[in-house]
Structure 1
Amino acid sequence: MDKTVTRAALGEQAAAKAGIPRADAAEICQRMFDLVGEALMEGESVKLTGFGSLQVRSRAERVGRNPRTGEEHRITPHRTVVLIPSAKLRKGLEALATPDKTQK
């Protein structure tokens, strides 16, 4: 469960499932990520049905604290991307987190 899925791994899996050359799948994946990034940089939301929505949010200036030293510092306002999972993804994640009560 501690495995990280990389862009290369996604491309390989897509190529295997679609039956296309790995280079073509990698190019499609790269272009898709480019398009998602461009849309987010323009402030648009990206909706991926069955997965979730990526939205750009503005974070206000606030005071942060170094957890080691307790020293306060100012965090400048910035924009960030948040993922709002779809109902399908949320339900799947909840199923993983909740052990089956019929098993003992």
Structure 2
Amino acid sequence: MTTQQTLTRVELTDAIVREVGLTRQESSDLLDRMLELVSSSLEHEGLVKLSRFGNFQVRRKAAREGRNPKTGVEATISARRVVTFKPSPALKTKVDGN
């Protein structure tokens, strides 16, 4: 995979079919369920730890003043929750190529 290529659900499903040997439907259902579990956990508990991959965490961002870059008009950006990702040392090493 090149750095410009996007990994899609279809490609992940195909990889599960190849690597695990499930049917395409079972693989798709497995991937959907796993993503639903991650999403649900982030929504309710705010933290997902995947060993040797990394941590997803929900953080709160406070309201702040911002500016529309086109018009320059100031506006209040409301408080919100955002998902952050911190890669594991193993993933960092793999990405770095060492």
**TM-score normalised per structure 1:** 0.83
Q: Which moved more, 1:64-73 or 1:34-43?
A: 64-73
Match of 2:9 in 1: 7
User: % of aligned pairs identical?
Assistant: 35
For residues 1-51 of structure 1, give each alpha carbon's deviation from its aligned partner in whole angstroms, at most 9, with x where no partner exists.
Answer: 211111121111111111221111110000000111111110331011111
Matched to 1:36, the amino acid is V
Cα separation, 2, equivalents of 1:68 and 1:91: 40
What SS does structure 1 have at the residue aligned with 2:45? coil
What SS does structure 2 have at the residue aligned with 1:53? strand
Give the superposed CA RMSD.
Answer: 1.6
- 2:57 aligned with 1:58: no
Aligned structure 1 segments of 4 or more residues deviating by more than 4 angstroms? none
Give unpaired runs (5+ residues) of structure 1.
97-104
Match of 1:32 in 2: 34
Matched to 1:58, the amino acid is R
Cα separation, 2, equivalents of 1:88 and 1:67: 39
Cα separation, 1, equivalents of 2:73 and 2:93: 40
What SS does structure 2 have at the residue aligned with 1:12? helix
**TM-score normalised per structure 2:** 0.87
